[in-house]
A and B are shown apart, each in its own frame.
Chain A
Amino acid sequence: MEATLSLNPAGAEAHDESELIRCAVDGDRDAFAILYRRHACWLLPLMWRMTGGDHGLAEDLTQEAFVQAWFKLGQLNDRQRFAGWLKALAINLVLADRRKLRPVGNDQALAGQESPQPPWPAADLDLETAIARLPGRARQVLVLFCIEGFSHEEIASAMHVEVGTSKAQLHRARALLKETLS
């Protein structure tokens, strides 16, 4: 018999993550709903920044990440590392998605483009917009390095590039940001 968990938000906080994952592995969608509410709150902003402020694409990728997580949950050995596992899964998805590689950051292209606005109360709207308008690879390296705390080695491995390329993209992104924000 499957274990079920209450969707009561107060109760959701109390549920142990490993227990939630165990229930979700057994097919308990209510348990997975609690996991969604805990983790979509940080995954969606990450996807929004990685996609250059494309809210629809960010939602699509977040959705896909959770669906894949549901199907692969049984492969997660250390259930305490769910957040890191989900993040890696989502980043691989966004890096593999060719739609994000549309031209961004080109001055001519940007001239006729509306500034992407984050769908949450932004602490620094100018910076969010400037990041969203960076060229694709530079933006992704900057988000992963400066906001998500990945190392250049990890970024290079995920993006299938050299470590030097990752460093160069970060340097380019920071230079463009400083220029834009000045």
Chain B
Amino acid sequence: MTISDQELDRRLAALTRTSDAPESLWHRIEPRLSRRRWPSLVAAGFGIAAMLVAALVVFEQSEPDSAPALHIMVSAEAEAMRRQAPTAPWPLPTSNKGLNAAWEENLAAITELEQALKRNPGNTLLLEFLVRARLRQSELINLAATQAPAGPDLST
């Protein structure tokens, strides 16, 4: 004999709906919950990194304001180097051979300084050295003009 729909519905409605929540299952769940803290930690790490980058950008942007202080520091360093140099800063050569060697050496220094300034245009120390090298270049030209008719080969 087949049971009726009503009897089936009655028995379905009477089924147990709850049971004890097993503690063993919670002990399997709990270790998996800690990982949600990782995104927070990673986010915090990125936040700190972003703050550092922002601070760096602000510092870079505020460089014009700090330029006088930097300039004073660079000038002091240049002055210290100048003091360490011999009293006669440019020992001028007296022979044509020595004049040519000095010219080549100074020219190589100018080239290197110009390349360095292209890479680091705001470096006032390099700029000062370049100015001094140009001055030496003019002194060498004057010396060559007064000492020897042939003079150094200034074609370069």
Find chain A residues with CB under 8 A from B16 CB: 45, 118, 120-123
Find chain A residues with CB under 8 A from B29 CB: 36, 63, 66-67
A83 CA to B8 CA in the complex, in Å?
Answer: 27
- The segment from B20-28, B55-63, B112-120, B143-151 found at the interface with A is B20-28
CB interface residues, B 1-28, toward A, < 8 Å: 1-3, 5, 8-9, 11-12, 14-22, 25-26, 28
Residue of B nearest to A43 (CB): B21
- The segment from B32-40, B46-54, B66-74, B91-99 found at the interface with A is B32-40
Find chain B residues with CB under 8 A from A120 CB: 16, 19-20
Q: Is the interface of A mostly helix, strand, loop or mixed?
A: helix
Are B26 and A45 interface neighbours, CB within 8 A? Answer: no
- Contact string against B for A residues 114-130, beta-carbon threshold 8 Å, 1 for contact and 0 otherwise: 00001111111001100
Are A123 and B19 interface neighbours, CB within 8 A? Answer: no
CB distance from B150 to the nearest CB of A (A): 87
Are A29 and B15 interface neighbours, CB within 8 A? Answer: no
A51 at the interface (CB under 8 A from B): no
B30 at the interface (CB under 8 A from A): yes
A42 CA to B17 CA in the complex, in Å?
Answer: 6
Q: A63-B32, A123-B15, A127-B12 are in contact. List 15 more A-B contacts (CB 8 A).
A: A27-B37, A29-B34, A41-B19, A44-B21, A44-B22, A45-B16, A59-B22, A118-B16, A122-B15, A147-B12, A147-B17, A178-B3, A178-B8, A181-B11, A182-B1
